[in-house]
Amino acid sequence: ARAASGVVVAVEGKTSYVLTNEHVVQREGLKGAASFQVVVERPNVHRLPAHVMAEGRVPDADLALLAVEGEALTPATIASEDQVDIGDDVVVVGAPYGRSLSVSAGIVSQLEVDEQDVQRSMKTDAPIGYGASGGGVFDVPSGKLVGLVEGYRTAKVAFGGISKDDFSFDVPMPGETFLSPPAKIRSFLMQSGVGRLAGLRRGSAMAESPQRTDPVARQQ
């Protein structure tokens, strides 16, 4: 089983749409058919079946959209491109290691734009752990979604000398958590067909069109 995080970005009736990473839903190398579940923790812990609606292409758009049937979950409000800047206070909400929700705080430590002034990538110094991929990055104090965790760079920490009890583990490096910025999120949702449901207006598209997925073929 693979655990990760996600953010509700749109709702239509009893169908909720959850944004996560493409590398989270990739099925290469898996034996048998893949199935997906979304764990909802509030007000009580329960699981809902989900299927993949759209997928981006790694590394340009490490984003995927899940459709969750049977419950209208509360969606996040997505920030516009001009509502995020270097030094802004943010909190990261995810479920590291597949456990309970976790919140960490930091700032936007980097915001990269291309020659057309379109946002390409972001970083934050907020600490995260394994399983936080797909977690939401929210502005403080507005609470708007300004980014989605894509991954992080780690450093290996070793303890001991030359005994058989030596051990080491990887720890996230401060300031090296990579995010999808608002421009990439908004473009992906528009091209996935849920932009209107997410309260977005059609604007510039910066990413390749996501691959639509046949819900019947992918739902297990």
Encoded tokens for 136:
């939401």
| 84-98 burial code (b ≥16 CB/10 A, e <16) | beeebebbbbbbbee
Closest residue by Cα to residue 67 from 55, 46, 50, 49: 50
pTM listed for this prediction: 0.82
Given this model, what pLDDT does residue 31 score?
A: 64
Phi, psi of 24 (to 5 degrees): -75, -35
pLDDT (average), residues 183-188: 95
Alpha-carbon distance 99 to 130, whole Å?
11
Domain regions of the chain by residue span = 7-76+184-218, 81-183
What pLDDT band is residue 217 in, cutting at 50, 70 and 90?
A: very low
Q: How far apart are CA 143 and CA 91, in angstroms?
A: 9
Closest CA to 40 of 71, 9, 78: 71
Kind of pairing between the strands at 46-55 and 119-124:
unpaired
Q: What is the pLDDT averaged over residues 121-143? A: 91
Mean per-residue pLDDT, 70-77 = 95
Q: Indicate whether 171 pLDDT > 70.
A: no
Q: What local confidence, expressed as pLDDT, does residue 58 receive?
A: 85
Q: Report which of 75, 65, 70 is spatially closest to residue 198, judged by C-alpha positions.
A: 75
Q: Which of 11-20, 46-55, 72-81, 207-216 has the lowest mean pLDDT?
A: 207-216
The CATH code of domain 81-183 reads: 2.40.10.10
CATH classification for the domain delimited by 7-76+184-218, as one of 2.60.120, 2.40.10, 1.20.120, 3.40.390: 2.40.10
Residue 207: pLDDT band with limits 50, 70, 90: very low
Q: Which of 29-38, 118-127, 169-178 has the lowest mean pLDDT?
A: 169-178
End-to-end CA distance of the chain: 15
Provide the pLDDT confidence category of residue 210 given band limits of 50, 70 and 90: low
pLDDT of residue 154: 56
Same fold, 7-76+184-218 and 81-183: yes
d(CA 181, CA 113): 10
